Amino acid sequence: MSLHKIILLGYMGSGKSAVGTQLAKNLGISFVDLDDYIELKAQDSIPNIFKTKGELFFRALERKCLEELVLSPDALVVSLGGGTPCYYDTMEFIRSQSNVHSVYLKTSLAELTKRLFTERSYRPMISHLETIDQLHEFIGKHLFERAVFYQRATVQVSTDQKSVEEVVRELGEILS
């Protein structure tokens, strides 16, 4: 595969980190979680950045960090935060890079609700939602708002009822 960058995007719980880690390993290149990269660069946690400097500051920093990764000479698999593609002209920027494939890990509302309900205490954005119905409604609203950005990816792969290995294998076939 002659790609330099593979950018994974999708809603939280779609498997970006798990798929990205395995895909990078299979390709023999590095994996970078954008949120981890931001925290390393800022020497602060994302929740604290939001709290002390606000979302606009965070989104500007997020974009700057994404540009650093995309424009670096290294071959990388990068997983974005769920909201990253929705700010500024991020999808246009990603799509304008000739050495980048963007991949939307498409997961259904029902599957995301199922996956995230047991994980919600670890995810600040949804930790306040107490019932599965509240979570379903919350995710549904976000998916509706974000789908227009996610669907601009050059590749879409459904993750419903698939193991990480199956998604990685499918991506390997599509991107080779």
pLDDT of residue 34: 98
Residue 1 has pLDDT above 50, yes or no: no
- CB atoms closer than 10 angstroms to residue 63: 16
- Supply angle C-alpha 75, 79, 80, rounded to 5: 125
pLDDT digits (tens, 9 = 90+) for 61-119: 999 999 999 999 999 999 999 999 999 999 999 999 999 999 999 999 999 999 999 99
* Rounded Cα distance, 13 and 113, in Å: 9
Interaxial angle between packed helices 55-71 and 34-42, expressed in degrees from 0 to 180 and rounded to the nearest 10: 110
Domain extent listing, the chain: 5-175
Residue 35 has pLDDT above 80, yes or no: yes
**Structure tokens, 97:** 């890079």
Higher pLDDT, 124 or 151: 151
pLDDT of residue 32: 98
| pTM (whole model) above 0.85 | yes
5-175 maps to which CATH number? Answer: 3.40.50.300
What percentage of residues in the chain have a pLDDT greater than 70? 98
Task: Give the residue-averaged pLDDT of 35-43.
Answer: 97
CB under 8 Å to 56, separation ≥6 — which residues?
Answer: none
What percentage of residues in the chain have a pLDDT greater than 90? 89
pLDDT of residue 127: 87
* Rounded Cα distance, 69 and 73, in Å: 8
The length of the chain, given as a count of residues: 176
Residue 2 has pLDDT above 70, yes or no: no
CB 22 within 8 A of CB 171: no
Residue 125 has pLDDT above 50, yes or no: yes
Cα torsion angle, 52, 64, 9, 173, sign: negative
Would you place residue 47 in the very low, low, confident or very high pLDDT band (cuts 50, 70, 90)? Answer: confident
Cα torsion angle, 129, 133, 134, 138, sign: positive
Task: Give the residue-averaged pLDDT of 119-146.
Answer: 93
Looking up tokens 């954005």, which residue turns up? 125
CA 67 centroid distance within chain: 15
Distances (CA, A) of 1 to 100, 124, 161: 12, 37, 27
